Chains A and B, each alone.
Chain A
């Protein structure tokens, strides 16, 4: 399956040229928390310019921060033009739209409650039926792009926008559609900031994935989109070769201590791509920088890969973008395949001994043929994607 167009907007940069520049400069997109109505001492991957995005009148019913971010994202990297050209090749009824999100429009629901005396109804401006459902993201993207195939929202916490690739492959292979727009959009909101704070999972400092002193995650926001087509190798930017999806069946908010779910997802991805562990060039880890997650992921990698390939977490560039993490890191994986270059696991200065031999503390030019991208989430939902060169 070919990825024939892609775009990414996140704290590291709005649009791929800006993202590339940040990666090569090893420049974090994280900043001291300045999110309105939030006084937590933490760092966030906030995207500049979201608030200035005005949605056209016809999209008033969809208006929320998540869709402002989606619009900002869709406007980058000539993505709209790529979709227009796709629609000349493929009937819009044969193009699926599958978007992962966890936050959706919840920041509007939060705002609707703010200053509301108990027992009183929402102010008129907050009576937005679409915006309070998770489906607000996928339905908006389908509407903006004029797509008329199946429109699905996937919301499996932090694996959401990795799973969208698997949904797209199944819809294409089963004959429902000929192409799919996949993506993920998640926006900062009080629910996730205070929620992860309540779980004691966020750091007071910029996150340090895989570092000895890591102390939790930094939250971020992002919008990323890609076009998936079975044919059209002429425009290929890279290929999706396989995927694995598994469940921990252990706990809502903690990964299984033996890493069996993560291991199963990675192994399935290898099997479905018919690749051996030693053929993998690089792993984009989930690497959230919580003490437990990184330890379990690294151990699972060592079980699947007798000699692990170079691996990194890109969370310190972008923050953990939750429902958009899958697409964000898929696009970063595809950039590595295109550039034959892998970024450092930014902010990892002193990796723990157990993974010091494969977690990258510096960027590297190297042959990159196959990249594995991990996305693991609450509810024990694990997804691994395997990408190859165009």
Chain B
């Protein structure tokens, strides 16, 4: 089975990787400046940014970049948010309060603790009233998010925004999820057309582990650090830093192989 898909836009948000251009530079060997100010985009007001949970800031930035690059209004796409751990700062807060003084639980923090908080804020922030979902595939959340996207591409004329992210843990959960760097990448996909695209891909189910792609150590370390960064080889393919087919695997069920579609 092959599924053809056009990549119309990409966004990235991680320390030292403020956007697609800085990722492309990093693939070419530029150092990652982790002190660099985060790219906040324009969709969240300064006030909302102060109040927003960190996963919202992380995902808004990447998702907005992908829409801007594609020239597509952010309320238009179907949106799929996929993350292994969601908002770990809020779950640390919740579990601590529940252990000590449960009656003190903050109602705002509670409703922000849902797995679909980032996707919910996206819908509210950009006014998107279509189908927006929040998935989890554990450490395979990138694969799972992309399988969902590929299952939609043939059945809709709408673009599909896929946002893959994982934040870092705080508190005792760090022992179980020791990532040091948050990571988010957003892909804006559409069914194949004759129009120009950033990259035209052919996807197929495979049973293999993740591909490795030669990349500078600072980037390769991010893949080890955070499961969301397992998207980096695919981003290398989309950015033209490799020509080889790329596999994203999964512990259970199929993975996906992506290759450049020759026209």
Contact = CB atoms under 8 A, between A and B. Distances in A.
Contacts of B138: 130, 133, 135-136, 139
Interface centre among B84, B113, B120, B252 (most CB of A within 10 A): B120
Contacts of A110: 95, 98-99
Interface string B102-146: 110111001111111101110110111111111111100100100
Interface residues of B, number: 64
A170 B148 CA distance: 8
Contacts of A149: 253-254
B48 to A, nearest CB: 12
B91 A109 contact: yes
B167 to A, nearest CB: 13
Contact of B152 (A156, A170, A377, A378): A170
Contacts of B152: 170, 174
A150 B154 CA distance: 18
A170 B155 contact: yes
A356 interface: no
Residue of B91, B94, B114, B124 with highest tally of chain A CB at under 10 A: B114
6 contacts: A116-B172, A195-B113, A247-B131, A249-B124, A379-B123, A381-B132
Given A174-B3, A378-B116, 6 more contacts: A139-B251, A148-B252, A190-B98, A198-B105, A245-B131, A252-B120
Nearest to B176: A129
Contacts of B115: 102, 134, 155-157
B150 interface: yes
Contacts, number: 222
Interface in A149-166: 149-157, 163, 166
Interface string B166-192: 000000110111000000000000000
A254 B97 CA distance: 24
B85 A133 contact: yes
A136 B136 CA distance: 9
Contacts of B3: 174
Contacts of A157: 114-116
A253 interface: yes
B252 A260 contact: no
Q: Chain A at the B interface: mostly helix, strand, loop or mixed?
A: mixed
A249 B151 contact: no
Interface string A166-178: 1100110111100
Nearest to B96: A113
A379 B172 contact: no
Contact of A153 (B75, B128, B135): B135
Contact of B117 (A106, A115, A195, A252): A252
Interface string B56-88: 000000000000000000010000000011100
Which range contains the number of A residues in contact with the other chain?
Answer: 35 or more
B90 to A, nearest CB: 10
B94 to A, nearest CB: 6
A200 B110 CA distance: 12
A274 interface: no
Interface in A85-129: 93, 96-97, 102, 106, 109-110, 112-116, 118, 120-122, 127-129
A73 to B, nearest CB: 20
B51 to A, nearest CB: 12
Contacts of B113: 191, 195
A190 B102 contact: yes
Contact of A247 (B123, B144, B173): B123
Nearest to B145: A152
B205 interface: yes
Contacts of A249: 75, 123-124, 126-129
B250 interface: yes
A196 B110 CA distance: 8
B1 interface: yes
A109 B87 CA distance: 14
B214 to A, nearest CB: 29
Interface in A196-213: 196-200
Given A149-B254, A176-B1, A381-B120, A191 B176 contact: no
Contacts of B136: 133-135, 138, 153, 155
B99 A156 contact: no
Contacts of B123: 247-249, 379-380
A170 B153 CA distance: 10
Nearest to A109: B95
A346 to B, nearest CB: 27
A138 B112 CA distance: 23
